[in-house]
Amino acid sequence: MRVSTNLRTTYEAMLATLGDRDDVIGQGDPDEWAFEMKWDGIRTMARVEEQDGRTAVGLTSRNHKDQGPGYPEIVDGLGRAVSGKAVLDGEIVALDTRGRPSFARLQQRMNLADPREIGRAVKRVPAQLFLFDVLEQDGEPLVDLPYTERRERLQALVTENDAVKVPPAFEGDFDGAWESSKDLGLEGVIAKRRSSRYAVGRRTRTWIKVKHVRTQEAVIGGWRPGRGRRAGTVGSLLLGVSDGDSRMRYIGRVGTGFSERDLDDLHDRLERITRKTSPFADIPRADARDAHWVTPRLVGEVEFAEWTNDGRLRQPRWRGRREDKDPSQVRRE
DNA sequence: TTCCGACAGTGGGGTCGCAAT
DNA sequence: ATTGCGACCCCACTATCGGAA
């Protein structure tokens, strides 16, 4: 039986810089890069140790919370997958019915405290640990080795099982990896410089994440006032799309992507088209609480990661007004 | 000089646990 | 019983600043 201990992790995860295709292929030799899929889950530093003759496993999230107790199947799997001591970097994921990592499913595993509750959740939504780096092996620090050598060490070190995987890294062309990630319905691609060291706790351009982006036109049906620095202007916009009906279908809020000029401009325009009632057919009470309603006349464009199960924008950001669009023509794409 | 990376501070969706109503 | 709120997870973005390139 493996135990999950509250082992303190001494490493902060290395982070990738957000970029686009040109940031990767636009400079230098394309062979300098390796490509991995971007997994949508919980970034986790894993430590395997020997303690009193037993294998002890620690899992730590990015803000230093002990994740071991919440994922007993991974603790057990990691104990079987690795012999000896190691510090490994990876992502806890929960796969959907089509085999894609689903953050929505994984959320059902978060914040559970009661062991019986966790036991039931393991059966309902099993989680896996996808490993993509090794920082230390049997006490030997590996962070200064180049990526390619750490990859070799990782693959030799880990014996995969149900709960622990080492997903492949692709050499060669970005476009191939990009298309694969798209076909598989994944978030995007992480490009890693093959010669690069593991920069503990830092965000550098030796790792570049390139994400699939969606765009959607939306009608502003209201807004919420800002707080702190944004007091006196717009906090977020309440967005909708036409359903062919007189009232709009609510698709969520957007509160980032504005410059200070954008905020002033929007605030000005919105104040002039104020009305008393909600233009949405279906907005939840919580979202409507401190809303200021407006006549649905202004159209804008947002970028976002994906639609949530509830038909809301996930990770939305404002891209600007679309004066060329008629509100009644704005549909969900 | 320019640019990179770190920080702080704003905002989002979703889940769970717990206190207030 | 319902509602509200914070803690965790994921995150985008703006604005600023110091120091590296």
pLDDT in tens, chain A (333 residues): 344 444 555 789 999 999 999 888 876 677 889 999 999 999 999 999 987 788 899 999 998 889 999 999 999 999 999 999 999 999 999 999 888 999 999 999 988 888 888 999 999 999 999 999 999 999 999 999 999 999 999 999 999 999 999 999 988 789 999 999 999 999 999 999 999 999 999 999 999 999 999 999 999 999 999 998 899 999 999 999 998 878 899 999 999 999 999 999 999 999 999 999 999 998 999 999 889 999 999 999 999 999 999 999 999 999 999 999 999 999 998
CA of A284 to C1' of C4 (A): 14
What's the pLDDT score for residue A312? 96
Q: Which of A103, A104, A102, A100 is nearest to A180 (CA)?
A: A100
Q: Which nucleotide across the nucleic acid strands is nearest to A260, CA versus C1'?
A: C14
What's the pLDDT score for residue A333? 87
- Judging by beta carbons within 10 Å of its beta carbon (0-12, 13-18, 19+), is residue A181 exposed, middle or buried? buried
- Report the distance separating Cα A172 and Cα A31, nearest Å: 6
For strand C, list residues 198-227 of chain A whose Cβ lies within 7 Å of it.
211
Q: Is A165 a residue of the active site?
A: no
Q: Which nucleotide across the nucleic acid strands is nearest to A104, CA versus C1'?
A: B14
CA of A220 to C1' of C13 (A): 20
Interhelix angle A72-81/A115-124, nearest 10 degrees: 70
Strands A33-37 and A188-193: antiparallel
- The tokens of A54 are what? 């037993």
What's the pLDDT score for residue A111? 81
- Report the distance separating Cα A149 and Cα A163, nearest Å: 24
Whether the CB-CB separation of A169 and A151 falls below 8 Å is answered with: yes
Please tell me which residue lies nearest to nucleotide B8, judged from CA to C1'.
A229
- Report the distance separating Cα A236 and Cα A220, nearest Å: 10
Provide the 10 A C-beta neighbour count for residue A107.
12
Question: CA A119, A123, A125, A128: dihedral to nearest 10 degrees?
Answer: 90
**Which amino acid is located at A11 in the chain?**
Y
What's the pLDDT score for residue A8? 53
What's the pLDDT score for residue A113? 82
Strands A203-211 and A54-61: unpaired
Half-sphere exposure for A269 (CA within 13 Å, toward CB): 18
pTM for the full predicted model: 0.92
A67 CB-to-strand C distance under 7 Å? yes
Nucleotides of C under 7 A from a protein CB: 3-4, 6-15
Whether the CB-CB separation of A305 and A315 falls below 8 Å is answered with: yes
CA of A35 to C1' of B13 (A): 28
Q: Which nucleotide across the nucleic acid strands is nearest to A15, CA versus C1'?
A: B5
